[in-house]
Every structure is written in C-alpha cells, then in structure tokens.
C-alpha cells in the first residue's frame, strides 16, 4: 500500500516535470516579452509575466515590420496548403486505388524526397527559379514548399483512402459515376479528418520554412516572419521584448492549431510513415 | 494492387454499358490523369534539381559564376575526404544523429510510458507535451539562444545558482558545451513526436497479458520486457529510422543557434554544405558534401530494411 502511494506521487511528479520541460520555453518567451528592462537585467529575473505590459504585442505589430512578415507567412502558408493538398488528394487516390506502370518507382521517389535536405536543393532550385523568374516572389516559395510537403501529404492521404471499403466506390461506379466524381463525392468526405491533418501539416511546413525563404527573397517587404525573426537573432538594436513578442505571435497559431487537430495529425503521420 | 481486377472497372464498363462511362480517355489512362499534376510538380522541383546537384558534385563551380562549370570527376570527393575538417564534420554528424535518435526515442518512450496509464487530466497532459513539436524551428532557436544567453539567460542563472555554471556562462560559445546545448534543444523539439507515436503503439499492448504477468509475480521490468517491448519494437525501429533521417537533414536550429561554430564544434554535414555553398561559394564541394549525406541516408534506409526483413524471418533476434 505504501509502495503504491509512493509510486503514485513519483508518477505525478514525473508527469509535472515533463510538462514543465515541454511548456517552459514557450512560457519563458511570454515572460520575456512582458518584462521591463529592469526585470530582464536584474540580479533576480522576474519569473511571471507582467500582464500590465500586454501592450508590447500591439506595439510590436504597429511599429516594426512584424505585421507585414506575418502576413507574408500567411500568404505562403495558405498557398502551400491549397496547392499541396489539391495535388496530394488525386495522387494519394491514384496510389491507393489503381495499379499503373511506374507505381513502384513513383512510391520510391516519394519516399526518397523525404530524406533530401532542403539545404542541398537550395543551389539547383536557385538556378531553376532564376530561369523562371520566380526569385524574390511569394509564388516561388509556395511552389517549392508545396513540392517538399506534397510527398508526405500524398502518402498520408493514400493511407486514409486505403482504409475506405472499396464497396462504397464500386456502387457509385456501377451507377456510372466518373472516377473524379467518385473521388470527390465518396472518398473526400470520408477522409475529411485526414485532409484536415495534411492541411495543417502543409500550412505549418510553409509557415516554419526558413532556408528557401532566406535564400530566395531579397526584398524586405516580401520577407516572411521566419526570416524576419531569424534576423533579429543577430541584431543588437531591437529590444528583446519586441523580439519575443513577435516570436510568440509567430508560435502561437502553430501550437494552437496542432493542439486542436493533433489526434488526426499524429495518426495521419504514423499511418503515412508506416504504410508509406 | 488488385483493385482494378476486383472492381472490373476497365473491362465491364466497356461492355454493354458504354454509355455508362462517358470518360473519352478510357480507364487505362485514369490513374495518370490523377497523378500527372503532382508527378510533374515533383519532377520539376525535386527530381531535376537533384540530378543537377549530382552533376554539380563532379564539377568545379563557383557560386558567383555558376554557368561556367568545369568537369573535374572525383576531385571534390577526393578533396573533402582528405580534409581533416571534413572528418571532424562526419564525426560530429555521427554524434549528433546518434544522440538525437537515442535521446528522442528514449525520452519519448519514458514519456509515453508515463502518460499511458489513465489519470485525470491525461488528455491535457498529452496536448501540452506536443507543444515543442508544434513550435516553429525559428522560434525554438530564438528562445533557446536567449535562454542560453551568457549574461542574462535563465539557464546560466539556474546553473550558477546550483554551482554548475560554465565560466562566463558562454555555453554556445564554448567548443565543449555548444554541441550538447544544440542537442538538448533538438531532442526537446523531437521527443513529443516519438512519445505520441509510442503512446499510440502502447495502446495496442494487450492489457490482460500485462495483468497476467503481474499476477504471476513478474516485476515491472520483466513485464515490460516480455509483454510491452515485443509489441512496440517495430514502432521503435521505425522511429529510430525517422529520427536518423530527420536529424541528418536538420538545418535551421543549428544554423541559427551556432552557425556550426564555435570552431566547427556543431558543424554537421548540412551546415558544412550550406557554408561551402554560400560562404566559400564552392558549389561543387557543397554538392559533394550533400551527396555524402544522401548516400549515408540511403545506406541507413537499406540497412534498416534488411535488418527488419531478417528479424521477420527470425534469423536475428
């Protein structure tokens, strides 16, 4: 009995420690954003956020370029989400339901692209972008981000479609529905949770992307938040509170969305990884 | 795939009910219609650039004048493999990858086992644990750099308070502590993924077997070894493979925290490749370094498949 009690307490403590480790850096971002200079550089730093200073978020958005950065990130992320899911649904469907020449090769290519480092592809893509005049444009980033996230989107959706009984489609086909109608009317509604999950993955893949953005964008006005915030790191002039406020605003939507759909994202990612 | 034979779509629809299938192209082409846009996309933005990169690795090409490249055969490879700095990069990459795999899978397993038992608030706990995984890499690099700030960083203040402080507090400027600091940050970001995946694997461990083992007087470790481990082993293997690939590719966190420094202490293959291309402006060497990374990934993947197959057959325990 006593041993059990001790075990329970130890377990609670362990869970709390894990949660503390997981949450603390984000919390610290908030505390830093909301600290006065005196608190930041005092012998004893302030450990709780000073809610009275909440205006720092408004200031960070109003004064700096942060609002523009976040808007650029939003455009890139929405574009990537639409394009990669739009191309990923038919690809996943083809991989799941048809046998065709080159299918094995295509699957290998999809898996292979998962291991290519973005940094390796920067140089050849830079050349390609120059030829197609896609440098220094948000469109270019949408295209390249979509290409990098498309394989995982397609593999996850393939896994989801694999799970739908074929009888449902057969009935519709027997009634004379075209393949595209079958996909959009039968499969898409049934895999809606997986589509939502891949949309979130695609959105935040582009939202977080840094290497291509920093290399392909030259105009300060077109910088996404990842590049803008990264430039803060080397800069000495910007107050750390502003830096943290912008970074917090950049992090919050990602975390909030993942918390909302994490169940689907995780099951989708494992299914995509395992069955891929 | 036997889908087509089963549905009979290509044959039966051709027969009496030709009117039933208005598609003028016939179903032989249907799969290609579905996959063509995506395949074209991947071809243009992944396959073609990759082939170009392979070609670059056999040339001497300067970033400033990329159209003028000279075929040099294996020279780039000979040079990087003869360079002691590159040996150090390989060693650091190796350490980084192994530590990420062991750290992320190990921490993930511990957390998964902790959260596997039912308790009030478990849903909230699970959600909170995923936060590091959801946080953007840029934000993670930024907050980690601030927390490790030599003078005002909370980590240094805590370490000082317990008497373990690094002299001067300059963890990220220390050749000795920079890599562990970057590793800790990487593992912090990776463990939520491994723990959530392992948590779902743990759900398929038969509870009655667990109870039976406990009834028979098996200790906690014995139960884990006999009941839990066999079920989650394939998942652990898969996660180890994923973590290997992900940490081999990982760029922004290291780049933004240390740029590979101090004196190359955190320079992994990808960091080396990027600085060769954009600091030294040697595209050929950069491409060659990239090829080494890709070949390592391929060896790891092929090796793990072979091991998995051998385990399935029962040749290896």
User: What confidence category does residue A115 fall into, taking pLDDT thresholds of 50, 70 and 90?
Assistant: confident
User: What confidence category does residue B107 fall into, taking pLDDT thresholds of 50, 70 and 90?
Assistant: very high
| Selected residue with higher pLDDT from B100 and A127 | B100
Residue B108 pLDDT exceeds 80: yes
Inter-chain contact B135–A124, Cβ cutoff 8 Å? Answer: no
A94 and A33 housed in the same domain: no
A45 and A121 housed in the same domain: no
Quick one: which of A95, A75, A89 has its CA closest to A145? Answer: A75
Please tell me the distance from the alpha carbon of residue B120 to that of residue A58, in angstroms, as a whole number.
37
User: What confidence category does residue B23 fall into, taking pLDDT thresholds of 50, 70 and 90?
Assistant: very low
Q: Where are the beta strands (DSSP E) in chain B?
A: 59-60, 70-71
| Selected residue with higher pLDDT from A245 and A38 | A245
A220 and A91 housed in the same domain: yes
CB atoms within 10 A of CB B256: 21
Tell me what pLDDT residue A5 has.
Answer: 53
User: What confidence category does residue B290 fall into, taking pLDDT thresholds of 50, 70 and 90?
Assistant: very high
Count of structural domains within chain A: 2
Tell me what pLDDT residue A273 has.
Answer: 54
**Residue A58 within any structural domain of the chain:** no
A:B CB pairs within 8 Å: 268
| Selected residue with higher pLDDT from B297 and B22 | B297
- φ, ψ (nearest 5 deg) of residue B59: -125, 165
- Average pLDDT estimate for B41-46: 90
**Residue A92 within any structural domain of the chain:** yes
Q: Give the angle B110-B243-A122 at the CA atoms, nearest 5°.
A: 150
Reported as a single tens digit per residue, the pLDDT across A262-271 is: 777 777 666 6
Identify the helix (H) or strand (E) that includes residue B144.
helix B137-147
CB contact B283 to A (< 8 Å): yes
Of A19, A117, A232, the CB nearest to B270: A117
- Average pLDDT estimate for B95-116: 94
- Average pLDDT estimate for B70-81: 87
Please tell me the distance from the alpha carbon of residue B252 to that of residue B259, in angstroms, as a whole number.
9
How close, in Å, is residue A211 to chain B by CA atoms? 7
Quick one: which of A111, A91, A105 has its CA closest to A198? Answer: A91
CB contact A45 to B (< 8 Å): yes
Distances (CA, A) of A70 to A210, A222, A225, B23: 13, 10, 5, 45
Interface of B with A in 246-275 (CB under 8 A): 248-249, 251-252, 256, 270, 273-274
**Residue A44 within any structural domain of the chain:** yes
Inter-chain contact A240–B146, Cβ cutoff 8 Å? Answer: yes
- Residues 6 or more apart whose CB falls under 8 angstroms from that of B161 comprise none
- φ, ψ (nearest 5 deg) of residue B264: 75, 10
CB contact A116 to B (< 8 Å): yes
Residue B19 near residue A175, CB atoms below 8 Å: no
CB contact A243 to B (< 8 Å): yes
Tell me what pLDDT residue B11 has.
Answer: 44
Reported as a single tens digit per residue, the pLDDT across A62-106 is: 877 888 999 999 999 999 999 999 999 999 999 988 888 888 888
Tell me what pLDDT residue B103 has.
Answer: 96
A144 and A97 housed in the same domain: yes
Reported as a single tens digit per residue, the pLDDT across B226-272 is: 888 888 888 898 899 889 988 999 998 999 999 887 888 999 999 99
**Residue A97 within any structural domain of the chain:** yes
pLDDT, chain B, mean: 83
A80 and A135 housed in the same domain: yes
List of domains in chain B: 96-241 (1.10.3720.10)
**Residue A219 within any structural domain of the chain:** yes
Tell me what pLDDT residue A1 has.
Answer: 43
ipTM attached to this prediction: 0.88
| Selected residue with higher pLDDT from B204 and B79 | B79
**Residue A57 within any structural domain of the chain:** no
A230 and A177 housed in the same domain: yes
Interface of B with A in 188-217 (CB under 8 A): 188, 192-193, 196-197, 200
Tell me what pLDDT residue B314 has.
Answer: 67
CB contact A254 to B (< 8 Å): yes
A142 and A249 housed in the same domain: yes
CB contact A247 to B (< 8 Å): yes
Of A91, A144, A230, the CB nearest to B138: A230
A258 and A203 housed in the same domain: yes
Inter-chain contact A106–B49, Cβ cutoff 8 Å? Answer: no
CB contact A144 to B (< 8 Å): yes
Expressed as residue numbers, the domain containing A93 is 64-274
Reported as a single tens digit per residue, the pLDDT across A54-64 is: 888 888 888 77
Tell me what pLDDT residue A166 has.
Answer: 83
User: What confidence category does residue B315 fall into, taking pLDDT thresholds of 50, 70 and 90?
Assistant: low
Please tell me the distance from the alpha carbon of residue A98 to that of residue B30, in angstroms, as a whole number.
9
Residue B12 pLDDT exceeds 70: no
How close, in Å, is residue B297 to chain A by CA atoms? 7
CB contact A125 to B (< 8 Å): yes
**Residue A69 within any structural domain of the chain:** yes
Tell me what pLDDT residue B1 has.
Answer: 38
User: What confidence category does residue B224 fall into, taking pLDDT thresholds of 50, 70 and 90?
Assistant: confident
Q: Of A84-88, B52-56, B66-70, where does mean pLDDT reach its minimum?
A: B66-70
Reported as a single tens digit per residue, the pLDDT across A235-261 is: 667 788 888 999 999 999 888 888 887
CB contact B136 to A (< 8 Å): yes
Query: A257: nearest CA in chain B?
Result: B134
A26 and A68 housed in the same domain: no
Reported as a single tens digit per residue, the pLDDT across A131-159 is: 888 899 999 999 999 999 999 899 889 98
Residue B292 pLDDT exceeds 90: yes
Query: B134: nearest CA in chain A?
Result: A255
| Selected residue with higher pLDDT from A180 and A274 | A180
- φ, ψ (nearest 5 deg) of residue B257: -80, -40
Q: pTM value?
A: 0.87
Of B34, B53, B128, the CB nearest to A124: B53
Tell me what pLDDT residue A270 has.
Answer: 65
User: What confidence category does residue B3 fall into, taking pLDDT thresholds of 50, 70 and 90?
Assistant: very low
A111 and A239 housed in the same domain: yes
Please list every residue in chain B whose beta carbon sits closer than 8 Å to the beta carbon of residue A147: 41-42, 44-46
Q: What is the CATH number of the domain that holds A159?
A: 1.10.3720.10
**Residue A54 within any structural domain of the chain:** no
């Amino acid at each position: 009995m006593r041993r059990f009690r001790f075990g329970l307490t130890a377990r609670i403590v362990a869970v709390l420690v894990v949660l503390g480790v997981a949450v603390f850096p984000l919390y610290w971002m908030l505390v830093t954003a909301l600290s006065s200079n005196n608190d930041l550089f005092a012998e004893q730093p302030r450990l709780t956020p000073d809610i009275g200073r909440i205006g720092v978020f408004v200031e960070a958005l109003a004064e700096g370029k942060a609002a523009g950065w976040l808007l650029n990130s939003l455009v890139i992320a929405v574009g990537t989400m639409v394009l990669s899911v739009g191309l990923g649904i038919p690809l996943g469907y083809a991989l799941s339901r048809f046998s065709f020449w080159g299918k094995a090769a295509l699957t290998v290519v999809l898996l292979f692209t998962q291991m290519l480092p973005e940094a390796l592809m920067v140089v050849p893509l830079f050349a390609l972008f120059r030829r197609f005049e896609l440098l220094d444009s948000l469109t270019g980033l949408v295209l390249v981000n979509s290409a990098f996230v498309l394989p995982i989107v397609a593999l996850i959706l393939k896994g989801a479609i694999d799970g739908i009984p074929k009888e449902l489609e057969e009935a519709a086909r027997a009634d004379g529905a075209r393949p595209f109608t079958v996909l959009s009317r039968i499969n898409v509604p049934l895999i809606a949770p997986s589509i939502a999950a891949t949309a979130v993955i695609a959105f935040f893949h582009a939202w977080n992307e840094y290497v291509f953005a920093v290399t392909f964008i030259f105009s300060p006005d077109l910088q996404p938040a990842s590049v803008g915030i990264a430039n803060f790191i080397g800069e000495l002039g910007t107050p750390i509170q502003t830096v943290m406020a912008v970074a917090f605003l950049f992090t919050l939507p990602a975390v909030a969305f993942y918390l909302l759909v994490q169940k689907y994202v995780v099951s989708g990612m494992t299914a995509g990884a395992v069955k891929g | 795939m036997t889908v087509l034979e089963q549905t009979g779509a290509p044959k039966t629809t051709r027969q009496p009910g030709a009117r039933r299938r208005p598609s003028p192209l016939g179903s032989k082409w249907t799969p290609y219609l579905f996959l063509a846009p995506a395949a074209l996309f991947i071809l243009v933005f992944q396959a073609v650039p990759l082939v170009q990169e392979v070609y670059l690795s056999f040339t001497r090409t300067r970033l400033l004048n990329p159209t003028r490249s000279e075929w040099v055969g294996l020279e780039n490879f000979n040079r990087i493999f003869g360079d002691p700095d590159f040996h150090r990069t390989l060693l650091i990459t190796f350490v980084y990858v192994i530590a990420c795999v062991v750290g992320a899978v190990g921490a993930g397993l511990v957390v998964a086992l902790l959260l596997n038992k039912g308790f009030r608030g478990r849903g909230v706990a699970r959600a909170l644990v995923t936060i590091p995984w959801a946080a953007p890499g840029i934000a993670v690099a930024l907050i980690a750099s601030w927390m490790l700030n030599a003078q005002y960083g909370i980590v240094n203040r805590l370490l000082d308070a317990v008497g373990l402080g690094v002299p001067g507090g300059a963890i990220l400027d220390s050749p000795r502590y920079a890599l562990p600091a970057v590793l800790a940050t990487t593992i912090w970001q990776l463990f939520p993924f491994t723990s959530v995946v392992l948590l779902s694997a743990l759900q398929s461990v038969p509870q009655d077997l667990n109870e039976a083992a406990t009834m028979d007087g098996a200790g906690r470790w014995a139960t884990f070894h006999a009941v839990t481990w066999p079920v989650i082993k394939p998942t652990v293997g898969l996660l180890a493979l994923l973590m290997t690939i992900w940490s081999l590719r990982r760029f922004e966190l290291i780049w933004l925290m240390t740029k590979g420094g101090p004196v190359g202490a955190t320079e992994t293959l990808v960091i080396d490749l990027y600085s060769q291309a954009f600091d030294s402006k040697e595209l050929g060497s950069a491409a060659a370094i990239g090829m080494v990374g890709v070949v390592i990934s391929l060896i790891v993947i092929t090796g793990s498949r072979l091991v998995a197959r051998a385990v399935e057959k029962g040749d290896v325990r």
